[in-house]
Amino acid sequence: MQCLMCCLSCTYLKKAKSRVRSERNMEPVLKIRIRNLNPHIVCSLCAGYFMDATTIRECLHTFCKSCIVKYLQSSKNCPQCGIKIHETQPLSGLKADNVMQDIVYKLVTNLFENEEKRKEEFCKSRGINVAKELNEADQNVPLTSVYDSPTGHHYSNDELVSLCLERDSLLLPLQNINGQPVHIPPLDRKFIRCSTRTRIAHVKKLLRKKLVLSQSLKLTISCSEASGLDDNWNLKQIWLQHWLDKDPPLILYYAISSS
Ligand SMILES: [Zn+2]
Ligand SMILES: [Zn+2]
């Protein structure tokens, strides 16, 4: 038997929710031309959109990292307002502006993808094998230096991302060669915070270690509609391409199969 009060409150809640939704839908959509925003998201040194946005602490003017670093080789003043950044070491007066960079990526469609393509083409034209170098870097970076060391590792000053590692529940249960079910316990901690430079290869290493998976088992990682994410992708790329409109944490699904 259903409780009348419960049914009434559910109906009331449903109505209230749909009213809020329709009010939201009726809000006028504010359209802004990107060219009106350009003065706030374009670097005055190169006239392009900010890349690795970097802000001067003293006056809060923002430039591309490479532009401002190059400029400060021959000056100690802000190129925009002329304020002295630092008596001897102007570079110490700069800070990476990740919020501004994310705003630029969100406003300018495909900027991130185009920049990645441009980098790839540049590397190709110089004969640099990026995939090979990344894989070699993976071999050299022990997992502990990324996740376990509280101080002193290379990633300590990085932008961080909150990550949730979920088991893909749609897959069939695992079986060993004799057809017996193989039980893999869930992660004891599925939420982690790590550098946005962390790559899928690192996440896989972490999962293999935590779940004590044998190398014979295949591990694949997916995110919303993107399945089988490439080992060389980092979490920043994944966030920008698949999670920009969603709330944190970034949810990655891992699937284990007998290969
Ligand atoms: Zn620039
Ligand atoms: Zn300035």
Strand partners, 160: 195
Of the listed ligands, the closest to the CA of 44 is: 1
Residues 154 and 225 in one domain: yes
Residues 165 and 78 in one domain: no
Cα separation, 142 vs 180, in Å, equals 34
Residues 147 and 254 in one domain: yes
Residues 6 or more apart from 111 whose CB is under 8 A from it?
Answer: 49, 104, 105
Residues 6 or more apart from 45 whose CB is under 8 A from it?
Answer: 63, 64, 67, 68, 71, 79
E-only strand ranges, 37-93: 54-56, 62-63
Of the listed ligands, the closest to the CA of 45 is: 1
Confirm whether 3 is domain-assigned: no
Of the listed ligands, the closest to the CA of 59 is: 2
Interval between CA 155 and ligand 1 midpoint (Å): 25
Confirm whether 131 is domain-assigned: no
> Helix 98-107 and helix 34-41: axis angle, to 10°?
160
The dihedral sign for the CA sequence 91, 92, 94, 97? positive
Residues 211 and 156 in one domain: yes
Q: Which of 226, 201, 214 is nearest to 257 (CA)?
A: 214
Residues 101 and 161 in one domain: no
Interval between CA 21 and ligand 2 midpoint (Å): 43
* pLDDT, tens digit (0-9, with 9 covering 90-100), for 127-166: 876 555 555 444 444 444 333 334 444 555 678 899 999 9
Q: Which of 149, 116, 129 is nearest to 234 (CA)?
A: 116
* pLDDT, tens digit (0-9, with 9 covering 90-100), for 105-119: 888 878 887 888 888
User: What is the structure's pLDDT at 21?
Assistant: 53
The CATH number of the domain holding residue 202 is 3.10.20.90
Cα 19 to its chain centre, rounded Å, is: 35
Of the listed ligands, the closest to the CA of 68 is: 1
Residues 243 and 148 in one domain: yes
Residues 254 and 186 in one domain: yes
* pLDDT, tens digit (0-9, with 9 covering 90-100), for 46-73: 999 999 999 999 999 999 999 999 999 9
Confirm whether 249 is domain-assigned: yes
For 249, half-sphere exposure in the C-beta direction (CA atoms, 13 angstrom radius) is 15
How long a stretch of residues is the chain? Answer: 259
Interval between CA 56 and ligand 2 midpoint (Å): 7
Confirm whether 29 is domain-assigned: no
Interval between CA 161 and ligand 1 midpoint (Å): 26
Domain enclosing residue 56, as ranges: 34-108
Residue 124 binned pLDDT confidence (cut-offs 50, 70, 90): confident
Structure tokens at 156: 């300590």
Share of the chain above pLDDT 90, in %: 33
Residues 93 and 198 in one domain: no
Confirm whether 123 is domain-assigned: no
Residues 78 and 146 in one domain: no
Interval between CA 171 and ligand 2 midpoint (Å): 55
Residues 174 and 241 in one domain: yes
The CATH number of the domain holding residue 92 is 3.30.40.10
Residues 156 and 210 in one domain: yes
Interval between CA 54 and ligand 2 midpoint (Å): 12
Buried (b) or exposed (e) across 207-235, using 16+ Cβ within 10 A? bbeebebeeeeebbbbbeeeeebebbbbb
Interval between CA 60 and ligand 2 midpoint (Å): 6
Of the listed ligands, the closest to the CA of 83 is: 2
Query: Based on the structure, what is the number of domains in the chain?
Result: 2
Interval between CA 70 and ligand 1 midpoint (Å): 10
Indicate the range of 7-21, 153-167, 186-200, 227-241 predicted with least confidence: 7-21
- Burial of residue 36 (number of CB atoms within 10 Å: 0-12, 13-18, 19+): exposed
Interval between CA 126 and ligand 1 midpoint (Å): 23
Interval between CA 73 and ligand 2 midpoint (Å): 16
Give φ, ψ of 128 to 5 degrees.
-95, 125
Confirm whether 127 is domain-assigned: no
Residues 175 and 78 in one domain: no
Confirm whether 94 is domain-assigned: yes
Q: Which of 72, 59, 67, 60 is nearest to 43 (CA)?
A: 67
Of the listed ligands, the closest to the CA of 81 is: 2
> Helix 111-125 and helix 98-107: axis angle, to 10°?
100
Interval between CA 70 and ligand 2 midpoint (Å): 16
Confirm whether 229 is domain-assigned: yes
